[in-house]
Structure 1
Amino acid sequence: MALESSPEHPLALGHVVQLVKGWVERCGAVWVEGQVIQIKRRAGSSTVFMVLRDSTVQSSAQVSCSTAVLDAAGPVTEGTTITAWVKPTVWSKNGSLSFDCREIRIAGEGRLLAELEQRKRLLQAEGLFDPVRKKRLPFLPRSIGLVTGAGSAAERDVLTNIALRWPAAHVEVRHALVQGPKAAAEVMARLAELDADPQVEVIIIARGGGALEDLLPFSDEGLVRAVAACRTPVITAIGHEPDVPIVDLAADLRASTPTDAAKRVVPDAREESERVQQALSRIRGAIVGRVSTEQQQLDALRSRPVLRDPAGSFDIHYDRLETLRMRLDHAIDRTLSQHVTSLEHDVSRVRAMSPKATLERGYAILADGEGNSVTSITDVDLDDDVMAYLADGKLTLGVRAVDDPTGVHSATIDDFAFDEEQP
């Protein structure tokens, strides 16, 4: 219904805004599709404001929703295409048209990305992507397993680069579908075959680039768990550098391309040969340097006087020994001379005190018949025989008289015998 107004009788703006608001809000809720180009979150507020843009025409609209509605949809970021159940409304304060969003669903590729992100978070929570689970690659594997599409460029790239880097490398190839609903199951089956082979020490899963939908089999939960459970180290080379399917996170090593996987799995024979030559050169240099150092030290030792003339140091000791010997001889002679002089003095004193010397001066020693010395007149009786020891012999005398101290008694010697025996 048209409103009646004129310059003389204008309508109040607020009244008109309320009328428009009523007309707009009589429209029911509708599902729309658009791309999120802006998201505004206010601290402490439960309302989120977004701007949706139509991807076919230059048209955009303001959309508001609660944080619960936005979070329930999954990871919605700027650039995500969504389908939203919205109901139009008009803000009374400024008369702007806005849409109140009741439900959000991620559309198209965004929906797949949201599902993959949710699956990734669940597997990550189980610890399948934990770095401690990663196994080290062998330096030079005896046999290399390869799971790839038959006749694919990925197979050609891997085999060609392995042959160029290490011609003697052995590769066990298993073909499988790498696209479509059966691809994940076939890749798991081929992976199990190679993992069961004891000769295979590393496995490569390779596929060329493609759209997100083409790479979906390599984000299959079953394949991811199979890769994580392999006893053999697994290298994934899926798509191009920006492509990161979930299986890359569970693999022991992610290669950016199939060519990069070939470079990671075997060393370059030419580079290794150069390293060996460099190592040999360093070893030779180290040996020559060590020998040179030891020779210099040996020359320095040989140049020392003690090694030029090993017996030279003995001359000093010989001179010292001769000096000590002379000092010892002199000390011995001096000591002997002192002892001889002392002995001569002792002998002279002994001779001077000996009975023989006394006898030589004219004295005699008397002894009774039993050989006991006679030192007193009381030691003999009259008519006893006594021995008189002289310097040149002895006499046997008989006691004839005894002179008492109070008087003189005469004595006669009856038997006289001379004995030439020395006392």
Structure 2
Amino acid sequence: MSDDKPTAENPWPVRTVANKVAMWINRLGAVWVEGQVTKVNLRQGMAKQFMDLRDPAVNMTVAMRVPTRLLADLRLSDGDRVVVHGKLNYYTERGSLSLEVDEIRAVGVGELLVRIEMLRKLLEAEGLFDPRRKRRPPFLPNRIGLITGRASAAEHDVQVNALARWPQARFLVVNVPVQGPNAVPEIVPALARLDADPEVDVIVLARGGGSLEDLLPFSDETLCRAVARCRTPVLSAIGHEPDTPLVDYVADVRCSTPTDAGKRVVPDVAEELHRVSQMRERARRALRGWVDRERQGLTSLRSRPALSDPHGPLRRRAEDLDQWRERGRRAIRNRLDSEHAALVSTTARLTTLGPAATLARGYAVVQVAGDGVLRSAADAPVGTHLRVRLADGAVHAVVERVGEVGDLGGVGGVGEGGGGD
């Protein structure tokens, strides 16, 4: 066998490629493998039985050759979980691969529970169970995606209960196997298809009750992660109330049964109508109460004097204004009368005390020409020209003699008489 790298000019024959593949597979040696057995069809009288070992998460199988003696104490059926030990053989003549089994063990319930618990802790640690990542389903979905078994009781229960609550509910049903080796490989793409449909607002994953082995696909890691990736809210309705597969923890809403899912996926039209009637009645009472309060407030405002007799305050203010005007007028008149009387009294006093009144009583004011009023006889020597002011005029005189008090011959002659000077 040549180890040279093949080229277009020097290609390997088919036998060389087949032998190299067989050589590399032989290097793998014996391995332990876990999976689900399928195509279990035991034939009597055969030294070896042929069946397939399938990966429950993906659509991938490998053929097995199991000695009949190893199956004597096992009652295998399609979908059973097993752990096998064997060596892979590549048959170069047919180009096929098979697993030559020398030991096979059925996975018991206890082992399944342990593995489910380990997976539960792993998914919980990754946050797939966190309530904060769960989405609330819509109040009234436009269309409900339903993944369930064909013509199953779960499909009937979901649809009947949902339509009884909301007759206009619309469903998009995808029928898939819900147990066995084909369950997960068909549920996952169905889930992705409904999640991509813009008309689907919520997805219900439903299955009736069953044993732990029957419900095992709904604790599969691949399915749990597919549910966690969905952008559409997912309702899990698997089995009965005590059944809690891992998909219940990952789903946005866990329903105890498919019947419960039918009741929770849509509202009850009778309850909603009753609630609308209650809200309408509450709104009516609230509006009536508000109108009554406003009417009472308006009546209270209208009963106030300012609104019941709007001209009354104006009239009262006008009367007050007239009173103040009259009081002002009387006060001014009294003040004028008082001032006028005071002025008359002062005028009378001035008239009585003034020089004109004195002159009218016979007195006279003697002035020395050019020197003011004559206050002493000594200031008017003989020959002094005097001006004598009387009540009705003034006369001029010349001093001829100066006498003592009581002597009436003091003035020698009279000058010109006249008045008004």
- Give the TM-score category using the shorter length: 0.5 to 0.7
Q: Distance in 1 between matches of 2:370 and 2:228?
A: 133
Deviates more, 1:177-186 or 1:248-257: 177-186
Q: Distance in 1 between matches of 2:360 and 2:237?
A: 140
The alpha carbon displacement at 1:207 in A equals 1.9
Question: Could you tell me which amino acid in structure 1 is paired with residue 204 of structure 2?
Answer: I
Q: Distance in 2 between matches of 1:417 and 1:226?
A: 151
Question: Could you tell me which amino acid in structure 1 is paired with residue 137 of structure 2?
Answer: L
Q: Which residue does 1:342 correspond to in 2?
A: 342
Note the 1:170-319 alignment, pairs <5 A.
Answer: 170-303=170-303, 307-312=307-312
Question: Could you tell me which amino acid in structure 2 is paired with residue 418 of structure 1?
Answer: G
2:144–2:201 CA contact under 8 A, matched in 1: yes
Question: Could you tell me which amino acid in structure 2 is paired with residue 397 of structure 1?
Answer: H
The alpha carbon displacement at 1:271 in A equals 2.5
Q: Distance in 1 between matches of 2:418 and 2:356?
A: 18
Q: Which residue does 1:126 correspond to in 2?
A: 126
Alpha-carbon spacing, 1:106–1:116, altered in 2? closer, same or farther (3 Å)? farther
Q: Matched residue of 1:243: which SS?
A: coil
Alpha-carbon spacing, 1:405–1:218, altered in 2? closer, same or farther (3 Å)? farther
Note the 1:15-414 alignment, pairs <5 A.
Answer: 108-303=108-303, 307-312=307-312, 335-367=335-367, 372-376=372-376, 386-392=386-392, 394-401=393-400, 403=402, 412=412
Q: Distance in 2 between matches of 1:266 and 1:300?
A: 51
Q: Distance in 2 between matches of 1:277 and 1:396?
A: 127
The alpha carbon displacement at 1:378 in A equals 6.9
Question: Could you tell me which amino acid in structure 2 is paired with residue 285 of structure 1?
Answer: R
Deviates more, 1:128-137 or 1:394-403: 394-403
The alpha carbon displacement at 1:407 in A equals 13
Runs of 5+ consecutive residues of structure 1 not aligned to the other structure: 1-104
Alpha-carbon spacing, 1:396–1:360, altered in 2? closer, same or farther (3 Å)? closer
Q: Distance in 2 between matches of 1:181 and 1:378?
A: 167
Q: Distance in 2 between matches of 1:402 and 1:127?
A: 151
Deviates more, 1:129-138 or 1:296-305: 296-305
The alpha carbon displacement at 1:131 in A equals 2.2
Q: Distance in 1 between matches of 2:412 and 2:258?
A: 160
Q: Which residue does 2:93 correspond to in 1?
A: none
Q: Distance in 1 between matches of 2:262 and 2:371?
A: 134
Q: Distance in 1 between matches of 2:379 and 2:166?
A: 137
Q: Matched residue of 1:399: which SS?
A: strand
Q: Which residue does 2:35 correspond to in 1?
A: none
The alpha carbon displacement at 1:248 in A equals 0.3
Question: Could you tell me which amino acid in structure 2 is paired with residue 220 of structure 1?
Answer: D
The alpha carbon displacement at 1:224 in A equals 1.6
The alpha carbon displacement at 1:367 in A equals 4.2
Alpha-carbon spacing, 1:400–1:272, altered in 2? closer, same or farther (3 Å)? same
Q: Matched residue of 2:418: which SS?
A: strand
The alpha carbon displacement at 1:239 in A equals 1.7
The alpha carbon displacement at 1:217 in A equals 0.8
With a CA cutoff of 8 Å and minimum separation of 6, indicate the structure with the bigger relative contact order. Answer: 2
The alpha carbon displacement at 1:412 in A equals 4.7
Q: Per-residue displacement from partner, 1:249-268 (whole Å, max 9, x unpaired)? A: 11111112223223212212
2:387–2:396 CA contact under 8 A, matched in 1: yes
The alpha carbon displacement at 1:328 in A equals 5.5
Q: Distance in 1 between matches of 2:379 and 2:310?
A: 85
Q: Distance in 2 between matches of 1:221 and 1:340?
A: 122
Alpha-carbon spacing, 1:140–1:365, altered in 2? closer, same or farther (3 Å)? farther
Q: Matched residue of 1:184: which SS?
A: helix
Question: Could you tell me which amino acid in structure 1 is paired with residue 242 of structure 2?
Answer: P
Alpha-carbon spacing, 1:107–1:168, altered in 2? closer, same or farther (3 Å)? closer
Alpha-carbon spacing, 1:223–1:361, altered in 2? closer, same or farther (3 Å)? same
Alpha-carbon spacing, 1:199–1:416, altered in 2? closer, same or farther (3 Å)? farther
Q: Per-residue displacement from partner, 1:386-405 (whole Å, max 9, x unpaired)? A: 5433222x325153447387
Alpha-carbon spacing, 1:404–1:218, altered in 2? closer, same or farther (3 Å)? farther
Question: Could you tell me which amino acid in structure 2 is paired with residue 224 of structure 1?
Answer: C
TM-score normalized with structure 1 length: 0.62
Question: Could you tell me which amino acid in structure 1 is paired with residue 213 of structure 2?
Answer: E
Q: Which residue does 2:21 correspond to in 1?
A: none
Q: Matched residue of 1:114: which SS?
A: helix
Q: Which residue does 2:27 correspond to in 1?
A: none
1:234–1:253 CA contact under 8 A, matched in 2: yes
Runs of 5+ consecutive residues of structure 2 not aligned to the other structure: 1-104
Q: Distance in 2 between matches of 1:384 and 1:164?
A: 151
Identity of counterpart residues, as a percentage?
47
TM-score normalized with structure 2 length: 0.62
Q: Matched residue of 1:418: which SS?
A: coil
Q: Distance in 1 between matches of 2:190 and 2:126?
A: 25
2:380–2:399 CA contact under 8 A, matched in 1: no
Q: Per-residue displacement from partner, 1:187-223 (whole Å, max 9, x unpaired)? A: 2222233334454332221222222211111101122
Q: Distance in 1 between matches of 2:179 and 2:108?
A: 19
Alpha-carbon spacing, 1:236–1:406, altered in 2? closer, same or farther (3 Å)? same
Q: Distance in 2 between matches of 1:168 and 1:234?
A: 21
Give the alignment's Cα RMSD to 1 decimal. 3.8
Question: Could you tell me which amino acid in structure 1 is paired with residue 205 of structure 2?
Answer: I
Q: Distance in 2 between matches of 1:356 and 1:342?
A: 21
Question: Could you tell me which amino acid in structure 2 is paired with residue 190 of structure 1?
Answer: A
Alpha-carbon spacing, 1:391–1:112, altered in 2? closer, same or farther (3 Å)? same
2:149–2:175 CA contact under 8 A, matched in 1: yes
Q: Distance in 2 between matches of 1:238 and 1:132?
A: 22
Alpha-carbon spacing, 1:366–1:173, altered in 2? closer, same or farther (3 Å)? farther
2:161–2:263 CA contact under 8 A, matched in 1: yes
Question: Could you tell me which amino acid in structure 2 is paired with residue 114 of structure 1?
Answer: V
